[in-house]
């Protein structure tokens, strides 16, 4: 009798489950709220299984078989990942609903009209690009598997990545962030957080970091001593008074212009191929010392200047400013072993 009762319970449970809507079955659903629609909107998706897309304007719901992720195709935004829709003009704010259990990559960065993005039910996301929109908030607390996040060029005032230990690439420049806690993101290789309002940035535990762009903030201190794999450092336009790159022997590009740095030693940076340090407190003597410490192919025969300069290689150009004025330039000969090279130089004459 008990066995028969259990059978009836099981049958009833299956029937109830069969009658449930997709949301009730806990199938992951993401929603994209548009401020308005342009003629064509679209998303890029990869994963496995199917994705059901409701474009939110009453047109027929679409079902698509997802393509697996391929790095080269994805980087080129291959059309096989693109799902687009032609809207008729509306002043409404349509909500795009995407249902799929195994969506791993989402790009909606070319819409520019996004007001809101809800990916809280998509725990399997590894890649999210929502840059260049109108987002004022972004909740990714349930997306702990994220490895890549592009959310720059929005209106974010807060970004919580404390649960994302798998994160390798974070691009959040051009927002309104006043703080950024990346203490849990020790696998970071690329961090772009420029053009925000950050007063501090701690990268001391990020030994895998190769590319750091943190310019146009309010930083008064930047310690990159432990970031020995850094190949690019851009801390342009902050409030730094000193910068030590002696431990960053892999650096190929260094930009620290518009700060208050009075001296810099590049003697331990043999791979350095580009350096920019305009509008600092560098004296003529400090510039001479800097050039003397540069690698051989970077070193001029003579340097006489009082203020700031920019220097690029292989087409090196020097721009010396004094009291906000650019002085006349002339050719100057640089020598590397037996080779003679002609570049440009500006002298401060007063």
Q: Which domains does the chain have, with CATH numbers?
A: 215-350 (3.80.10)
Instruction: Please give the pLDDT value at position 174.
Output: 97
Burial class (CB in 10 A: 0-12, 13-18, 19+), 146: buried
Instruction: Please give the pLDDT value at position 54.
Output: 94
Distance between CA atoms of 307 and 319, rounded to whole angstroms? 9
The pair phi, psi for residue 329, each rounded to 5°, is: -100, 160
Look at 249 and 320; give whichever has higher pLDDT: 249
17: three-class secondary structure by DSSP = helix
Instruction: Please give the pLDDT value at position 39.
Output: 61
Alpha helix (H) residue ranges in 173-327: 284-293
Longest CA pairwise span in the chain (Å): 106
Q: How confident is the model at residue 349 (pLDDT cuts 50, 70, 90)?
A: very low
Range in 73-77, 136-140, 236-240 the model is least confident about: 73-77
Give yes or no for residue 89 having a pLDDT over 50.
yes
Mean pLDDT of 186-215: 97
For all residues of the chain together, what is the average pLDDT?
77
Look at 73 and 335; give whichever has higher pLDDT: 73
Instruction: Please give the pLDDT value at position 252.
Output: 86
- The model's pTM is 0.80
Query: pLDDT tens-digit profile of 12-52?
Result: 343 434 444 444 446 788 998 887 666 667 888 999 999 99
Cα dist from 121 to 65, 103, 238, 347, whole Å: 20, 11, 38, 61
Query: pLDDT tens-digit profile of 120-174?
Result: 999 999 999 999 998 999 999 999 999 999 999 999 999 999 999 999 999 999 9
28: three-class secondary structure by DSSP = coil
Distance between CA atoms of 257 and 266, rounded to whole angstroms? 15
């Amino acid at each position: 009798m008990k066995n028969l009762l259990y059978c009836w319970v099981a049958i009833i449970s299956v029937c109830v489950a069969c009658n449930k809507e997709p949301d009730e079955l806990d199938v992951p659903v993401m929603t994209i709220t548009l401020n308005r629609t342009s003629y064509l909107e679209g998303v890029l998706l990869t994963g496995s299984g199917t994705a059901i897309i409701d474009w939110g304007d009453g047109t027929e719901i679409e079902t698509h078989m997802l393509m697996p992720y391929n790095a080269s195709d994805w980087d080129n935004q291959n059309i096989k990942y693109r799902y687009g829709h032609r809207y008729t003009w509306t002043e409404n704010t349509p909500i795009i609903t995407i249902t799929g259990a195994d969506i791993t990559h989402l790009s909606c960065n070319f819409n520019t009209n996004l007001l809101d993005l809800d990916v809280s039910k998509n725990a399997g996301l590894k890649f999210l690009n929502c840059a260049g929109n109108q987002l004022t908030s972004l909740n990714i607390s349930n997306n702990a598997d994220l490895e890549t996040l592009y959310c720059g060029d929005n209106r974010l005032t807060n970004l919580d990545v404390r649960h994302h230990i798998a994160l390798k690439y974070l691009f959040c420049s051009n927002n309104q962030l006043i703080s950024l806690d990346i203490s849990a993101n020790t696998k970071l290789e690329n961090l772009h957080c420029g053009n925000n309002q950050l007063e501090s940035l701690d990268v001391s535990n990020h030994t895998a970091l190769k590319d750091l762009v943190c310019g146009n903030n309010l930083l008064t201190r930047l310690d990159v001593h432990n970031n020995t794999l850094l190949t690019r450092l851009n801390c342009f336009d902050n409030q730094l008074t000193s910068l030590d790159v002696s431990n960053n022997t892999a650096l190929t590009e260094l930009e620290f212009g518009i700060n208050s740095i009075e001296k810099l030693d590049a003697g331990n940076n043999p791979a350095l191929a580009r350096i920019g340090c305009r509008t600092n407190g560098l004296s003529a003597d400090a510039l001479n010392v800097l050039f003397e410490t540069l690698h051989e192919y970077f070193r001029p025969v003579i340097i006489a200047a009082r203020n700031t300069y920019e220097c690029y290689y292989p087409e090196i150009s020097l721009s010396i400013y004094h009291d906000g004025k650019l002085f006349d330039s002339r050719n100057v000969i640089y020598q590397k072993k037996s080779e003679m090279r002609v570049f440009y130089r500006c002298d401060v004459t007063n």
